[in-house]
Structure 1
Amino acid sequence: MLVQEIVNTLVQALVVLALAGIAYAFAGKRRGKFRAFTGLYLPPSRSWLTTGAAALVLIPLSLALVWFTPLKDTAAADNTITGMLAAKGFSAEIVAVILLIALVKTSFTEELFFRGLLAKRLIVWLGMPVGNTLHAALFGAIHLIIFVAPGGPDFSVPLAAGIFLIPAIGGWVMAWLNETVGDGSVLPGWFVHALTNLLAYPLLAFG
């Protein structure tokens, strides 16, 4: 399982990096350096205090909204990452898989695409309030695919609202951290996203 996840993660990361390269190539003279275009650079050290404070609020709130609501059953269903982990059982290999998926596959690649490419472009074109809100809505909406995925839950408005709003709000906060606190770096958002997944996956799979 670990070998397959390493391959899957590498392929996903390469695809997102390729998309970033294509977008960069079409950006013309305004693109600057690739790392600036995508946010792949270190933020100022002062940003970590605000990022840590945001994580202390956002992560427990997100986990509580999932754990104490019907979202828990959906998040731990058989066709989800946590459902897959639960089916395999706890082991050293599963710990390695959790680290790989949480830190890279579902955080680095999503942050690079949604915050490093999509949010940045929308914020440049439309300004922070509109651009960030539109990006966050798209980030939340992509999670609604679970309703049409094989083995997905039956649609209901409250469930759909929760599945949409939690990532949408999280995405908005992460992009705001990146652009206003991290001087455009995607690392603050990556830190919050990765830590959230790192806590959520074992909690939902084995809690």
Structure 2
Amino acid sequence: MVNELQRIISAFVQILFIILLPSIWWFLTVRGKVPFIEWIGLKSIKRVKDSDLISWIIGGFLLFTIFYMFIFPLTRSIETATSAFSGMGYKALPSILIYSILQTSLPEELLFRGFLLKRMANHMPFVFANTIQAFAFGLLHGVLFASVVSLEVTFFIIFFTGAIAAYLGFVNEKKAGGSILTSWIIHALANILSGLVAAFSLL
């Protein structure tokens, strides 16, 4: 219970830190015109039928899964975020859910698809804005592993996570009416999977 509480507190600190810059940006530019929650993309999903939405979510989850299947053997001996769950089985489930939903996917979606992509897309064609946010997302994840994996693996991580980020950005803006809830769901499901794989030593 203590571990889960610490994770929840850590998650909210991260979220507050992540939304600090967007909050200031919103306050100085569009305060009074659009609510912050809507401006950052935390709004209802529109423009897509339930069946289509499920297909897009499954597609994104499969992309993450394929990436994980490729990257896991290359990073098996490296300490990662999910290493804390290794061999814990069902006992790790509460921590995995907190980690997946609040600690990682929500802050990253708020920053990359909620803030960065949306602000850039207001000033340049969507394809350029989406490519930039995707590259930034991929670069962040590549840098995290750069010191412990080969250059080739680092480039693989940057490319594949960048491709996933581009997919998430496209789904949010072109299929879900600008809502980041879709990418948050996909991202969280993928992280839950990686946590469960570690907890039950499935690979």
TM-score bin (small chain): 0.7 to 0.9
The equivalent residue for 2:16 is 14
Where 1:177 maps in the other structure, the secondary structure is: helix
Q: State whether residues 147 and 153 of structure 1, in contact with CA within 8 Å, keep that contact through their aligned partners in structure 2.
A: yes
Q: Which amino acid aligns with 2:142?
A: L
Cα shift at 1:50: 2.9
Q: State whether residues 45 and 181 of structure 2, in contact with CA within 8 Å, keep that contact through their aligned partners in structure 1.
A: yes
Q: Which amino acid aligns with 1:90?
A: G
Unaligned stretches of 5+ in structure 2? none
Q: Please, what TM-score do these two structures have when normalized by structure 2?
A: 0.87
Q: Please, what TM-score do these two structures have when normalized by structure 1?
A: 0.85
**RMSD after superposition:** 2.2
Q: Which amino acid aligns with 1:62?
A: F
- CA distance in 1 between counterparts of 2:31 and 2:19 reads 20
1:189 equivalent in alignment to 2:188: no
Unaligned stretches of 5+ in structure 1? none
The equivalent residue for 1:140 is 138
Cα deviations by residue, 1:8-63 (Å, 9 ceiling, x for unpaired) = 11111111232321121122479632123101111127354333212323322432
Q: State whether residues 47 and 182 of structure 1, in contact with CA within 8 Å, keep that contact through their aligned partners in structure 2.
A: no
1:59 to 42, 48, 61: 61
Q: State whether residues 85 and 198 of structure 2, in contact with CA within 8 Å, keep that contact through their aligned partners in structure 1.
A: no
Q: Which amino acid aligns with 1:170?
A: I
Identity %: 23
The equivalent residue for 1:86 is 86
Q: State whether residues 75 and 204 of structure 1, in contact with CA within 8 Å, keep that contact through their aligned partners in structure 2.
A: no
- CA distance in 2 between counterparts of 1:138 and 1:37 reads 21
Aligned residues: 199
- CA distance in 2 between counterparts of 1:19 and 1:196 reads 27
Q: State whether residues 8 and 102 of structure 2, in contact with CA within 8 Å, keep that contact through their aligned partners in structure 1.
A: no
Compared CA separation, residues 161 and 9, structure 1 to 2 (3 A): same
Cα deviations by residue, 1:124-170 (Å, 9 ceiling, x for unpaired) = 1112111101110111000122235xxx523222x112211222111
- CA distance in 2 between counterparts of 1:47 and 1:114 reads 25
Q: Which amino acid aligns with 2:194?
A: A
Q: State whether residues 47 and 177 of structure 2, in contact with CA within 8 Å, keep that contact through their aligned partners in structure 1.
A: no
1:161 equivalent in alignment to 2:160: no
